[in-house]
A = this chain, B = another copy of it.
Protein backbone atom coordinates (compact mmCIF):
# COMPACT_ATOMS: atom_id res chain seq x y z
CA UNK A 1 0.00 0.00 0.00
CA UNK A 2 1.81 3.06 -1.26
CA UNK A 3 0.86 5.53 1.42
CA UNK A 4 2.50 8.92 1.30
CA UNK A 5 5.11 9.26 4.02
CA UNK A 6 3.60 12.32 5.63
CA UNK A 7 0.09 10.94 5.68
CA UNK A 8 -1.64 11.63 8.95
CA UNK A 9 -3.99 8.70 9.04
CA UNK A 10 -6.10 6.28 7.09
CA UNK A 11 -6.33 7.39 3.50
CA UNK A 12 -6.60 11.11 4.07
CA UNK A 13 -3.75 12.83 2.34
CA UNK A 14 -2.05 15.46 4.49
CA UNK A 15 -3.55 18.85 4.07
CA UNK A 16 -1.12 21.40 2.71
CA UNK A 17 -0.99 25.02 1.90
CA UNK A 18 -1.75 24.10 -1.70
CA UNK A 19 -5.02 22.45 -0.79
CA UNK A 20 -6.09 25.52 1.11
CA UNK A 21 -4.98 27.72 -1.79
CA UNK A 22 -7.17 25.76 -4.19
CA UNK A 23 -10.19 26.07 -1.96
CA UNK A 24 -9.58 29.76 -1.44
CA UNK A 25 -8.88 30.35 -5.11
CA UNK A 26 -5.53 32.03 -4.52
CA UNK A 27 -1.92 30.99 -4.81
CA UNK A 28 -0.16 29.05 -2.06
CA UNK A 29 2.10 31.92 -1.17
CA UNK A 30 -0.87 34.12 -0.47
CA UNK A 31 -2.14 31.58 1.99
CA UNK A 32 1.23 31.55 3.67
CA UNK A 33 1.27 35.30 3.94
CA UNK A 34 -2.32 35.55 5.10
CA UNK A 35 -1.43 33.22 7.95
CA UNK A 36 1.94 34.55 9.01
CA UNK A 37 1.68 38.25 8.24
CA UNK A 38 -1.99 39.08 7.67
CA UNK A 39 -1.27 42.77 7.26
CA UNK A 40 0.51 42.38 3.95
CA UNK A 41 -2.38 40.83 2.05
CA UNK A 42 -5.65 42.42 1.03
CA UNK A 43 -8.63 42.21 3.31
CA UNK A 44 -10.44 40.21 0.67
CA UNK A 45 -7.72 37.61 0.17
CA UNK A 46 -7.31 37.26 3.89
CA UNK A 47 -10.96 36.48 4.40
CA UNK A 48 -11.04 33.91 1.64
CA UNK A 49 -8.01 32.22 3.12
CA UNK A 50 -9.36 32.20 6.64
CA UNK A 51 -12.60 30.69 5.43
CA UNK A 52 -10.75 28.00 3.51
CA UNK A 53 -8.59 27.19 6.51
CA UNK A 54 -11.60 26.76 8.70
CA UNK A 55 -13.40 24.71 6.11
CA UNK A 56 -10.54 22.32 5.56
CA UNK A 57 -9.25 22.19 9.14
CA UNK A 58 -5.77 22.98 7.92
CA UNK A 59 -2.93 23.06 10.42
CA UNK A 60 0.29 24.65 9.24
CA UNK A 61 3.32 22.39 9.28
CA UNK A 62 5.91 24.14 11.37
CA UNK A 63 8.60 21.66 10.45
CA UNK A 64 8.44 22.76 6.86
CA UNK A 65 8.11 26.34 7.96
CA UNK A 66 11.13 26.13 10.18
CA UNK A 67 13.17 24.39 7.56
CA UNK A 68 12.39 26.92 4.88
CA UNK A 69 12.32 30.03 6.99
CA UNK A 70 14.85 29.24 9.68
CA UNK A 71 12.47 30.43 12.36
CA UNK A 72 11.14 27.64 14.49
CA UNK A 73 9.27 29.60 17.15
CA UNK A 74 10.67 27.09 19.56
CA UNK A 75 12.47 27.85 22.81
CA UNK A 76 14.24 25.16 24.77
CA UNK A 77 14.31 25.36 28.54
CA UNK A 78 16.85 23.43 30.54
CA UNK A 79 16.25 22.94 34.22
CA UNK A 80 17.52 20.51 36.83
CA UNK A 81 14.20 18.95 37.69
CA UNK A 82 10.54 19.65 37.59
CA UNK A 83 9.65 18.01 40.89
CA UNK A 84 9.23 20.13 44.02
CA UNK A 85 11.14 22.77 42.27
CA UNK A 86 11.84 26.26 43.41
CA UNK A 87 12.01 27.07 39.70
CA UNK A 88 8.39 26.28 38.93
CA UNK A 89 7.24 29.89 39.12
CA UNK A 90 9.96 30.95 36.76
CA UNK A 91 9.14 28.30 34.22
CA UNK A 92 5.45 28.96 34.43
CA UNK A 93 5.82 32.69 33.89
CA UNK A 94 8.32 32.18 31.12
CA UNK A 95 6.15 29.71 29.28
CA UNK A 96 3.09 31.90 29.60
CA UNK A 97 4.86 34.87 28.14
CA UNK A 98 6.40 32.87 25.33
CA UNK A 99 3.15 31.13 24.45
CA UNK A 100 1.50 34.51 24.30
CA UNK A 101 4.08 35.56 21.74
CA UNK A 102 3.52 32.38 19.73
CA UNK A 103 6.48 30.36 20.93
CA UNK A 104 6.41 26.79 22.10
CA UNK A 105 8.75 25.38 24.67
CA UNK A 106 10.82 22.26 24.65
CA UNK A 107 11.77 21.09 28.11
CA UNK A 108 15.09 19.50 28.96
CA UNK A 109 15.73 18.00 32.39
CA UNK A 110 19.40 18.13 33.29
CA UNK A 111 19.21 17.03 36.90
CA UNK A 112 20.37 13.48 36.66
CA UNK A 113 23.06 12.14 34.43
CA UNK A 114 25.74 14.67 33.52
CA UNK A 115 26.96 12.66 30.56
CA UNK A 116 23.49 12.35 29.16
CA UNK A 117 23.08 16.08 29.41
CA UNK A 118 25.30 16.47 26.38
CA UNK A 119 23.19 14.13 24.33
CA UNK A 120 20.15 16.05 25.43
CA UNK A 121 21.68 19.32 24.33
CA UNK A 122 22.59 17.88 20.98
CA UNK A 123 19.09 16.57 20.43
CA UNK A 124 17.62 19.92 21.37
CA UNK A 125 20.03 21.80 19.13
CA UNK A 126 18.92 19.50 16.34
CA UNK A 127 15.50 21.13 16.48
CA UNK A 128 17.06 24.50 15.79
CA UNK A 129 15.39 26.37 18.64
CA UNK A 130 15.22 30.13 18.30
CA UNK A 131 16.47 30.44 21.86
CA UNK A 132 17.62 28.47 24.86
CA UNK A 133 17.02 29.22 28.51
CA UNK A 134 19.26 27.76 31.16
CA UNK A 135 17.66 27.65 34.57
CA UNK A 136 20.05 26.47 37.19
CA UNK A 137 23.29 25.28 35.72
CA UNK A 138 24.42 23.44 32.68
CA UNK A 139 26.89 21.02 34.12
CA UNK A 140 29.54 20.19 31.60
CA UNK A 141 31.93 22.67 30.11
CA UNK A 142 31.67 20.89 26.78
CA UNK A 143 27.97 21.63 26.72
CA UNK A 144 28.52 25.28 27.36
CA UNK A 145 31.06 25.40 24.57
CA UNK A 146 28.74 23.66 22.13
CA UNK A 147 26.01 26.07 23.04
CA UNK A 148 28.25 29.05 22.42
CA UNK A 149 29.28 27.66 19.04
CA UNK A 150 25.72 27.02 18.00
CA UNK A 151 25.01 30.73 17.92
CA UNK A 152 21.58 30.34 19.48
CA UNK A 153 20.53 33.16 21.80
CA UNK A 154 20.93 31.96 25.37
CA UNK A 155 19.55 33.30 28.61
CA UNK A 156 20.89 32.07 31.90
CA UNK A 157 18.64 32.54 34.88
CA UNK A 158 18.78 32.12 38.64
CA UNK A 159 22.22 30.72 38.87
CA UNK A 160 24.47 33.64 38.17
CA UNK A 161 27.60 32.47 36.52
CA UNK A 162 30.38 34.98 36.52
CA UNK A 163 30.99 34.70 32.82
CA UNK A 164 27.60 34.54 31.16
CA UNK A 165 27.36 32.91 27.75
CA UNK A 166 25.07 35.54 26.38
CA UNK A 167 22.16 37.07 28.30
CA UNK A 168 21.60 36.68 31.98
CA UNK A 169 18.69 37.30 34.32
CA UNK A 170 19.14 37.09 38.04
CA UNK A 171 19.92 39.14 41.04
CA UNK A 172 22.98 40.34 42.89
CA UNK A 173 24.03 38.17 45.76
CA UNK A 174 26.08 41.06 47.09
CA UNK A 175 22.97 43.20 47.20
CA UNK A 176 21.16 40.47 49.14
CA UNK A 177 23.89 40.32 51.76
CA UNK A 178 24.01 44.05 52.15
CA UNK A 179 20.25 44.48 52.26
CA UNK A 180 19.92 41.73 54.83
CA UNK A 181 22.50 43.39 57.06
CA UNK A 182 20.87 46.78 56.79
CA UNK A 183 17.41 45.45 57.43
CA UNK A 184 18.44 43.59 60.53
CA UNK A 185 20.62 46.30 62.03
CA UNK A 186 17.80 48.75 61.48
CA UNK A 187 15.66 46.47 63.61
CA UNK A 188 18.24 46.70 66.34
CA UNK A 189 20.08 43.41 66.03
CA UNK A 190 23.73 43.67 66.93
CA UNK A 191 25.18 40.24 67.54
CA UNK A 192 25.14 38.30 64.26
CA UNK A 193 26.11 34.78 63.35
CA UNK A 194 26.05 33.04 59.99
CA UNK A 195 25.50 29.46 58.96
CA UNK A 196 26.33 29.09 55.30
CA UNK A 197 26.90 26.34 52.84
CA UNK A 198 30.29 26.01 51.24
CA UNK A 199 28.90 27.39 48.03
CA UNK A 200 30.15 30.33 45.93
CA UNK A 201 26.88 32.23 45.93
CA UNK A 202 26.17 31.68 49.61
CA UNK A 203 29.66 32.79 50.51
CA UNK A 204 29.30 35.89 48.39
CA UNK A 205 26.16 36.81 50.27
CA UNK A 206 27.93 36.19 53.55
CA UNK A 207 30.95 38.29 52.63
CA UNK A 208 28.73 41.13 51.62
CA UNK A 209 26.72 40.86 54.83
CA UNK A 210 29.86 40.97 56.92
CA UNK A 211 31.29 43.87 54.97
CA UNK A 212 28.15 45.88 55.61
CA UNK A 213 28.16 45.05 59.30
CA UNK A 214 31.78 46.11 59.61
CA UNK A 215 30.97 49.31 57.80
CA UNK A 216 28.45 49.96 60.54
CA UNK A 217 31.07 49.30 63.17
CA UNK A 218 29.54 46.11 64.51
CA UNK A 219 31.66 43.46 66.11
CA UNK A 220 33.02 40.49 64.15
CA UNK A 221 30.55 37.88 62.98
CA UNK A 222 30.89 34.22 63.73
CA UNK A 223 30.52 32.11 60.61
CA UNK A 224 29.89 28.41 60.44
CA UNK A 225 30.49 26.89 57.03
CA UNK A 226 28.61 23.64 56.44
CA UNK A 227 29.61 21.18 53.77
CA UNK A 228 27.23 20.78 50.82
CA UNK A 229 24.53 19.68 50.35
CA UNK A 230 22.21 21.65 52.56
CA UNK A 231 20.56 19.49 55.23
CA UNK A 232 18.66 19.96 58.42
CA UNK A 233 21.47 18.21 60.24
CA UNK A 234 23.95 20.72 58.85
CA UNK A 235 21.88 23.56 60.26
CA UNK A 236 21.56 21.91 63.67
CA UNK A 237 25.26 21.28 63.85
CA UNK A 238 25.91 24.86 62.82
CA UNK A 239 23.88 26.33 65.62
CA UNK A 240 25.36 23.88 68.10
CA UNK A 241 28.85 25.05 67.25
CA UNK A 242 27.89 28.69 67.36
CA UNK A 243 26.27 28.39 70.78
CA UNK A 244 29.26 26.61 72.20
CA UNK A 245 31.12 29.84 71.93
CA UNK A 246 30.90 32.43 74.64
CA UNK A 247 29.32 35.21 72.71
CA UNK A 248 25.70 34.23 72.00
CA UNK A 249 24.19 35.72 68.82
CA UNK A 250 20.82 37.44 68.67
CA UNK A 251 20.29 36.39 65.10
CA UNK A 252 21.54 33.64 62.83
CA UNK A 253 21.55 34.29 59.11
CA UNK A 254 21.50 31.13 57.00
CA UNK A 255 22.38 30.62 53.38
CA UNK A 256 19.29 28.55 52.69
CA UNK A 257 15.91 27.79 54.19
CA UNK A 258 16.93 24.20 54.68
CA UNK A 259 19.84 25.16 56.90
CA UNK A 260 17.57 27.66 58.63
CA UNK A 261 15.11 24.90 59.43
CA UNK A 262 17.91 22.91 60.97
CA UNK A 263 18.83 25.90 63.10
CA UNK A 264 15.21 26.26 64.16
CA UNK A 265 15.08 22.59 65.09
CA UNK A 266 18.19 22.90 67.24
CA UNK A 267 16.84 26.08 68.82
CA UNK A 268 13.58 24.32 69.65
CA UNK A 269 15.39 21.41 71.28
CA UNK A 270 17.19 23.95 73.47
CA UNK A 271 13.92 25.67 74.34
CA UNK A 272 14.98 28.89 72.71
CA UNK A 273 12.03 30.98 71.58
CA UNK A 274 12.16 32.30 68.03
CA UNK A 275 12.57 35.16 67.43
CA UNK A 276 12.66 36.47 71.03
CA UNK A 277 15.67 34.48 72.23
CA UNK A 278 17.13 33.83 68.83
CA UNK A 279 16.00 35.19 65.49
CA UNK A 280 16.63 33.18 62.34
CA UNK A 281 16.82 34.29 58.75
CA UNK A 282 16.79 31.96 55.78
CA UNK A 283 17.08 32.29 52.04
CA UNK A 284 14.90 31.06 49.20
CA UNK A 285 11.43 31.06 50.73
CA UNK A 286 10.46 27.56 49.82
CA UNK A 287 6.73 27.44 50.28
CA UNK A 288 6.94 24.62 52.78
CA UNK A 289 9.16 26.72 55.00
CA UNK A 290 6.46 29.31 55.44
CA UNK A 291 3.95 26.70 56.49
CA UNK A 292 6.08 24.85 58.91
CA UNK A 293 7.91 27.73 60.49
CA UNK A 294 5.87 30.88 60.52
CA UNK A 295 8.55 32.58 62.58
CA UNK A 296 11.25 32.16 59.96
CA UNK A 297 12.20 35.30 58.12
CA UNK A 298 13.77 34.83 54.75
CA UNK A 299 14.75 36.36 51.46
CA UNK A 300 12.36 35.67 48.68
CA UNK A 301 13.53 35.72 45.13
CA UNK A 302 10.70 36.48 42.79
CA UNK A 303 10.76 33.52 40.44
CA UNK A 304 7.87 34.78 38.42
CA UNK A 305 9.56 38.06 37.75
CA UNK A 306 12.67 36.24 36.64
CA UNK A 307 10.62 34.22 34.19
CA UNK A 308 9.05 37.33 32.79
CA UNK A 309 12.37 39.06 32.37
CA UNK A 310 13.82 36.04 30.61
CA UNK A 311 10.92 36.04 28.18
CA UNK A 312 11.31 39.74 27.59
CA UNK A 313 15.01 39.45 26.94
CA UNK A 314 14.50 36.61 24.48
CA UNK A 315 11.63 38.18 22.60
CA UNK A 316 13.51 41.42 22.27
CA UNK A 317 16.50 39.62 20.87
CA UNK A 318 14.28 37.78 18.43
CA UNK A 319 12.88 40.97 17.01
CA UNK A 320 16.00 43.11 17.09
CA UNK A 321 18.30 40.73 15.29
CA UNK A 322 21.63 39.23 16.27
CA UNK A 323 23.79 42.33 16.04
CA UNK A 324 22.89 43.42 19.56
CA UNK A 325 25.37 43.51 22.40
CA UNK A 326 25.74 40.24 24.21
CA UNK A 327 26.21 39.45 27.87
CA UNK A 328 23.27 41.54 28.93
CA UNK A 329 22.70 41.37 32.64
CA UNK A 330 19.31 42.01 34.13
CA UNK A 331 18.82 42.34 37.86
CA UNK A 332 15.42 41.22 39.04
CA UNK A 333 15.98 42.03 42.67
CA UNK A 334 14.60 40.16 45.64
CA UNK A 335 12.36 40.72 48.63
CA UNK A 336 13.06 40.50 52.31
CA UNK A 337 10.26 38.66 54.07
CA UNK A 338 10.16 39.54 57.70
CA UNK A 339 8.06 37.14 59.69
CA UNK A 340 9.55 38.07 63.03
CA UNK A 341 6.95 39.46 65.35
CA UNK A 342 9.33 42.14 66.57
Partner-B contacts on A (CB < 8 A):
5-10, 57, 59-70, 72, 74, 81-85, 88-89, 91-92, 95-96, 99, 102, 104-109, 112, 116, 120, 122-128, 146, 149-151, 287-288, 291-292, 322
Contact = CB atoms under 8 A, between A and B. Distances in A.
Contact of A322 (B9, B92, B107): B9
Contact of A96 (B66, B102, B112): B112
Given A88-B83, A92-B109, A106-B104, A151 B8 contact: yes
Given A70-B6, A83-B92, A106 B109 contact: no
B126 A60 contact: yes
Given A68-B5, A81-B92, A128 B61 contact: yes
A291 B67 CA distance: 50
Given A63-B72, A105-B107, 8 more contacts: A8-B150, A82-B82, A82-B91, A84-B88, A85-B88, A102-B123, A104-B123, A291-B291
A257 to B, nearest CB: 13
Nearest to A152: B8
23 contacts: A5-B68, A5-B70, A6-B70, A8-B150, A9-B149, A57-B149, A61-B67, A62-B126, A63-B67, A74-B127, A82-B82, A82-B92, A82-B95, A83-B89, A95-B107, A95-B109, A99-B109, A106-B106, A107-B107, A288-B288, A288-B291, A291-B292, A292-B292
Contacts of A89: 83
